[in-house]
Structure 1
Amino acid sequence: MKENKLDLMRIIQVKFPRLSKGQKLIAEFILKHYDKAAFMTAAKLGGSVGVSESTVVRFANELGFAGYPKLQKSLQELIKNKLTTVQRIELSNDYVSEETALKGVLKSDMENIRATLEKINNETFEAVVNNIFKAKKIYIVGLRSTTALAEFLGFYLNLILDNVHVITYGISDIFEQMINMSSDDLVIGIGFPRYAARTIEALSFAQKRGAKVVSITDSLLSPLASKADYTLIAQSNMASFVDSLVAPLSVINALIVSVGLREKEKISSTFSNLEDIWQEYAVYSYRESKEKSY
């Protein structure tokens, strides 16, 4: 089901009179606290209102969902771009404690990667790689929390292709950095909830210039996806004030490796030269083991 908030809330209200006493308690809780309910298990939601887990499952079925996880996902879709940082902190306090943070976050990231592996389209991925090689110039736009991803992608692609420009906040506005963009170019936009408005505007600008647009985002319903010719989906769910960018980084790693595999000889030559430069200028710490003579 792909109802927006009003549709989902209206369904609950319309069905309310026919619900059982226990189901009405669940409905009232969701109508008032849908932001918290979105991250509750069926058992926890039931416990919060004093009903059994099976009652919660039957409630989801009554609304037309094929199970509680489907209802939960629908609720999460409603709120993921609406939550303020303060609300995220409150949610993380409810579901992740200092004692469980390590395992909880690692398990969540593992689930995000698993879900990404299931959702990502291999044909789209290959098309993106092909367009990277076709582009005269490649612009990468990732602002705010996704800046690290954009810089990482730009750093490695530039070692391979030499025609990559990472759009950043700075002295010049992002549009000034894209002023010479043409239909021969490619723009890669990276964005996850809460989506940076400037990234969306940059992709709209690219569309007007006739450039090919790739988005790396969490859903085909994302505002970045609506501006893109190709969309790579990477799940980033995290009930916390920190964005989970592990799965997006894995997708970016895969892009870099795929591009690199087509330019093996160039990469080998480039890194051979770089090793000499790094050693000459002590970019990295080199430890030389010397045998002592007695």
Structure 2
Amino acid sequence: MEQADNLLLRIQKYDKTFSKGQKRLAAYVLKNYDKAVFLTASKLGKEVGVSESTTVRFATQLGYKGFPEFHRALEELVRNKLNSIQRMKVTYGHVPEAEILDTVFQSDIEIIKLTMEHIDHAAFEMAVETLLSARTIYIIGIRSCAPLASFLSFYLNMILDDVRLIQTSSASEIFEQMIRIGDQDAIIGISFPRYSMRTLKAIEFANNRNAKVITLTDSVHSPINLYSSCNLIARSDMASIVDSLVAPLSVVNALVVALCMKRQKEVVHTLETMEKIWDEYQVYSNDEMEHADDTIKMLNPEQEDQKT
């Protein structure tokens, strides 16, 4: 929350230097940051009754390079301040119901673009190499992040030898599942606002045991990054009562593909083995009707007589 707190501190620090229009902007942002986060420079100025140029100067007066950087700080503030109920009220007041589908799609597209432009490629390569060299890989993601952790675990189990998805029904059970983690192991922690304390404690525990820590989160200011030297940052802006996780899922997909490329022979062998097992035990079916025809034979009356 450093960046969010920094925005509030900056407004207080520069308050005496503001013009009358900038003072109105400052007062509006402090009181209505949950609404201001959805406004462009032009719309924010119009809402307060000042020009767009005054709004831009307000951002630079606070020490930001421009309005976009100011807006990112504002997003960070909102992300950490609002609970789920407040998010729902803010969002549904902002987006007309008829436009929700298109708005969410467009928001997700922008989130992926921003993530692609700013993600640290060196950190990504480090994550891949760390996973390849680890003896055991632990994965933890709680609440809304649990599907990401489960998805990643499912595919890593096809690529690597020892992958363990940490079940999170209680804090004590988390540590019991990690009791043997050490310096030859790696852990992937996935956490997005509102950040889970159980994930943070698990990452801290792994770090104290000298395990390699990889984090997938939304900001360099995320608390789990305190214990990680390999941080994968994926945007997760608000689109409704939940945070969009399309960008984190894309990062997870990229990790899986990169690991598959590094372990092509092993992956092919595993998939061939799995295909045989799936066929033998009829795990999947290409056509349910054909499957039924192949396995269910109707007896004619003569066969029934012979059977009896």
The alignment's TM-score, normalised by the length of structure 1, stands at: 0.91
Task: Report the Cα offset of residue 24 of structure 1.
Answer: 2.4
Is residue 146 of structure 1 aligned with residue 145 of structure 2? yes
2:40 aligned residue: 41
Instruction: Quote the Cα distance in structure 1 between the aligned partners of 2:199 and 2:29.
Output: 33
Superposed CA deviations along residues 17-59 of structure 1, whole A, max 9, x for unmatched, are: 4433332221211121223212321222223223332332222
1:209 aligned residue: 209
Structure 1 pair 228–245 and aligned structure 2 pair: CA distance change class (3 A) = same
Is residue 266 of structure 1 aligned with residue 271 of structure 2? no
Superposed CA deviations along residues 53-108 of structure 1, whole A, max 9, x for unmatched, are: 23322222332322222211112222312210011111211222221111111111
The amino acid of 2:38's aligned partner reads F
1:125 aligned residue: 124
Instruction: Quote the Cα distance in structure 1 between the aligned partners of 2:3 and 2:145.
Output: 28
Q: Secondary structure at the match of 2:282?
A: coil
Checking the alignment, whether the CA contact within 8 Å between 1:225 and 1:231 is kept in structure 2 is yes
Task: Report the Cα offset of residue 282 of structure 1.
Answer: 2.6
Query: How many pairs align?
Result: 288
The amino acid of 2:202's aligned partner reads A
Is residue 51 of structure 1 aligned with residue 44 of structure 2? no
* Unaligned runs of at least 5 residues, structure 2: 294-308
Is residue 12 of structure 1 aligned with residue 7 of structure 2? no
Task: Report the Cα offset of residue 213 of structure 1.
Answer: 0.5
Instruction: Quote the Cα distance in structure 2 between the aligned partners of 1:135 and 1:113.
Output: 29
The amino acid of 1:66's aligned partner reads K
The amino acid of 2:81's aligned partner reads K
Superposed CA deviations along residues 112-168 of structure 1, whole A, max 9, x for unmatched, are: 111111211222111111111111100001111010000000000001113000001
2:158 aligned residue: 159
Is residue 92 of structure 1 aligned with residue 91 of structure 2? yes
Checking the alignment, whether the CA contact within 8 Å between 2:107 and 2:239 is kept in structure 1 is no
Structure 1 pair 180–11 and aligned structure 2 pair: CA distance change class (3 A) = closer
Is residue 23 of structure 1 aligned with residue 22 of structure 2? yes
Q: Secondary structure at the match of 1:100?
A: helix
Structure holding more helix per residue: 2
Instruction: Quote the Cα distance in structure 2 between the aligned partners of 1:260 and 1:86.
Output: 41
Instruction: Quote the Cα distance in structure 2 between the aligned partners of 1:31 and 1:232.
Output: 31
Checking the alignment, whether the CA contact within 8 Å between 1:39 and 1:239 is kept in structure 2 is no
Task: Report the Cα offset of residue 239 of structure 1.
Answer: 4.3
Superposed CA deviations along residues 243-285 of structure 1, whole A, max 9, x for unmatched, are: 1110101111111111111111121122122222223323223
Q: Secondary structure at the match of 1:190?
A: strand
Cα RMSD between the aligned structures? 2.1
The alignment's TM-score, normalised by the length of structure 2, stands at: 0.87
2:64 aligned residue: 65
Give 1 or 2 for the bigger CA radius of gyration: 2
Checking the alignment, whether the CA contact within 8 Å between 1:82 and 1:194 is kept in structure 2 is no
- Percent identity between matched residues is 48
Checking the alignment, whether the CA contact within 8 Å between 1:216 and 1:234 is kept in structure 2 is yes
Structure 1 pair 209–15 and aligned structure 2 pair: CA distance change class (3 A) = closer
